Amino acid sequence: MSKKYPGAPSHALDDVTVSFSSGKIHSIIGRSGAGKSTLIRCLNFLESFDTGQLTILGQHTQSMTKVQRHQVLKEIGSIFQQVNLLSRRTALENVMLPQEWQGVSKQAAKLRARELLAKVGLAGLENRYPAQLSGGQCQRIAIARALANEAKILLCDEFTSALDPETSLEILGLLRQLNKDLGVTIILITHDMNVVREISDFVYVMDNGRFVEQSDVEQLLLHPQHPTTQSLLTGLFVRDLPHHLQQSLVYTPCEGQVIVRLVFSSRSSQNPVIAELIQQHQIPINILAGSMDHLRATVFGTLLISAPYNKVTHDIMMAHFSVNGISAEILGYLPVGDTHD
């Protein structure tokens, strides 16, 4: 799929090829202008594309009649940063609105709206107006409204960016539960990497209108390959080198110590990798710092280590980490005379 806006110097979407698995949660990340919002707007027909093809729920959209497109749109819900609730309608009436547009009877629409408001945690607040509710509560109404016509796909564009961190986590937990209970496919774009690690099954990285990297969430966040991904993930996990070592660090291999940052996933953390490295290869390892973090429900750890540098032992050490599924990033080198125990 490709798209170029009139007068723009480059494509907003440049021969994009991607597929999203049914019933999973997908996050699309990238810098501003990468093409994320344009893609989402093409998926819900708010934008047309120039070339290529789009298949939604098994149907080719290019050959759809107006009636068929209208039917597919009923199965796609959208949530945006601005929830755009109607201020003169109650929470219940806002959720009823999409059903009213589809000609559903008022009684049936009201019953469905009550069920959805209960599902998003707003039972008892059906008659409140948006001005009487918090930002998080309004976002919950927007989610219920997006699901009102039994949507199978939920598109979310920076939907938590206006919320405080605690409320954002609550909304993410809600979406995860809805995904589990209803089997709805969720596609979201965000600049917040904490959103990505809390909710995603799969992550896609966009740059200059293309997908440059995509994988399951653990593989991509713990072992990023593309420079754009690595840049976007800077600071996601607290793994900084102590300041006293940063001052002495050089970036060209030299006699002294090599500093390596290790990331142990749930699978690799069960193995005595450091002990085996010392015992089997007689490489002395010094642990400089460490921490624990999480990725969705998975706990993982990071270690900063140093080891004497020479080409042979260095290659043995890095191969050992690779075989054991550990991400190993060389941060630099401490020359002889600047090493620290």
Q: Say what the pLDDT of residue 94 is.
A: 95
List, for residues 283-305, the tens digit of each pLDDT value.
999 988 887 777 776 667 788 89
| pLDDT mean over 312-322 | 93
Torsions phi, psi for 267 (to 5 deg): -75, -40
Would you say residue 267 has pLDDT above 70? Answer: no
Question: Are 78 and 41 a contacting pair, CB within 8 Å?
Answer: no
Question: Are 79 and 156 a contacting pair, CB within 8 Å?
Answer: yes
| pLDDT mean over 234-251 | 72
Q: Say what the pLDDT of residue 269 is.
A: 65
Closest by CA to 179, choosing from 203, 200, 195, is 200
Q: Say what the pLDDT of residue 80 is.
A: 84
Q: Say what the pLDDT of residue 241 is.
A: 66
Question: Are 231 and 56 a contacting pair, CB within 8 Å?
Answer: no
Reading the block at residue 181, the tokens are 């209970």
CA-to-CA dists, residue 121 to 78, 125, 220, angstroms: 19, 9, 32
| pLDDT mean over 315-328 | 90
pTM of the model: 0.78
Instruction: Tell me the domains of the chain and their CATH numbers.
Output: 25-232 (3.40.50.300), 243-335 (3.30.70.260)
From the CA atom positions of the chain, what is the Rg in Å?
A: 25
Query: In which band, very low, low, confident or very high, does the pLDDT at 95 lie, cut at 50, 70 and 90?
Result: very high
Q: What is the torsional sign of CA 128, 133, 138, 141?
A: negative
Q: Which residue pairs, CB below 8 angstroms and at least 24 apart, start in 92-99?
A: 92/117, 92/126, 92/127, 94/130, 94/141, 94/145, 95/141, 95/144, 95/145, 95/148, 96/148, 97/145, 97/148, 98/145, 98/148, 98/149, 99/148, 99/149
SS3 288: strand
Would you say residue 238 has pLDDT above 70? Answer: no
Q: Say what the pLDDT of residue 321 is.
A: 92
Alpha-carbon dihedral 47, 51, 55, 60, rounded to 10 degrees? 100
Query: In which band, very low, low, confident or very high, does the pLDDT at 25 lie, cut at 50, 70 and 90?
Result: very high
